[in-house]
Structure 1
Amino acid sequence: MLWNTAPHNRQKLAIARRNKLVVANWKMYGSLALCRETINQLNHIIQPGADLIISPPAPYLSELGRLAQKTGIHCCGQDVAAQQNGARTGEWSATMLAELGCHHAIVGHSERRQHHREDDLLIAAKAQACIDAGITPIVCIGETLDERNAGQLERVLGQQLDALLATAGWREAIIAYEPVWAIGTGKVATPAIAQAAHQFIREYLAKTDADAADEMMLLYGGSVKADNATALFAMPDIDGGLIGSASLEVHSLVRIYQAASLTSRAAAQMTL
């Protein structure tokens, strides 16, 4: 069960395990106008079985949270410090995100790994800091093209997962598989390639806790667009997407969310 966030007196957040989930990561883009437009366009289409989280740049979190109240749309930090406080100019803690009403935070995005030299141990510490504050971390893992071509996919993913598995709260995390070679490049893993990686991740987690692995939400991130979202989300081990540039176009984000909702309904009908 995912929790609403904040150290005290928080309610449980109504995002169920293995619901379809769309996370819009705006990176260092966006504006107050985009916050307003996005909420206005999406607040009436939220459906049971498919959840939407928006992760704007930090200066917009408070306003987006205000706009999103009672819409069913949730806010998410793009990063978080491993510490809960300290003399660390330019950083913010998970407790601070919780105070703003955030229920999630992205940690370990490939751009943080590349540009800020974040390693697996730091990312795991950030994930645990989120969990300690009642926030669900969305932990990003993935391989480069050179690593994939060298047959190192499983070694790289396993190493990244091992750091997370060493934390006490790993079962509360969401994992986003984002092949580095598909981020912002226009390249995208085929549904079969993405499913194979997600299946490996779930099976790897199952070696430690099969029940937790079965419930773990696994997202795909890497040039997800409106025209490939349905096929990706239909894969049995893909529970949704971490969406980058396509989430900055409101019409595109609407279509991606609708794809998540459609595949969620189709999966529910198959179980009847």
Structure 2
Amino acid sequence: MENIIEIKNLYKKYKNSEDFSVNDISLNIDKNEIYGILGPNGAGKTTLISMLSGLIKPTSGSFTINGLSPKKDSSKIKQLIGVVPQEYALYPTLTAKENLLFFGSLYGLKQAYLHKTIDEALELMGLTKFADKKIDQFSGGMKRRCNLIAGTLHNPKVLFLDEPTVGVDVQSKKAIIDYLLDLNKKGTCIIYTSHHLSEAEEFCTKIAIIDHGKIHATGTPEELVQKVASAENLEDVFISLTGKELRDVV
């Protein structure tokens, strides 16, 4: 086992907040994992991923990605990671192919390689015949699939995903999961957040359940179910660890 991410005593408190959004998290993630970060609304999932992907800075603590520190090697880390946010990171008035060519150019990919990679990815995602259609004409599932391609054109070593299948149809969900499983087989470590617990149970090789900024349990889906008496699935484990209280956030 070889860790590609090592997190030590990581904290994050936002300005004017009384509580830590991430509170003393330590975690090691192997390079071959599909690692699920699961928790209720406001648990700290997105804050943790935002720190790891360089979008926000920790209040204290440290982490490395592929042995690199964000304080010393932030530009190198950016070349190694891919980020696919929950919100669509696409230009609505550009076509799918124009979007992908633009994002691919940001990674510094050579044109011949970029065109080949885009064509292959569009084919895998069932979007070839829509390549020259503007994104604002796409359905939610089509946008979600194109969004995923945009974040993975450079074949990242680590891919951060925030709710990658939210609001999509069954066919789009299957296409996205199959695409991600293929990426993982080719060597990409995937860090994934979702509210779809049954999906996470099937998709993830390992899971951390967090709440109020703290890790409450880690393990494979099978290990987590075995740890909680009377639990039959991951949803039972989740409710047991985080409670039934509603987590509405405004």
Category of TM-score, reference length = shorter chain:
0.3 to 0.5
Higher helix share: 1
Larger RCO (alpha carbons 8 Å, 6+ apart):
2
In the superposition, the TM-score normalised over structure 1's length comes to 0.38
Please report the TM-score for the alignment, with normalisation by the length of structure 2: 0.41
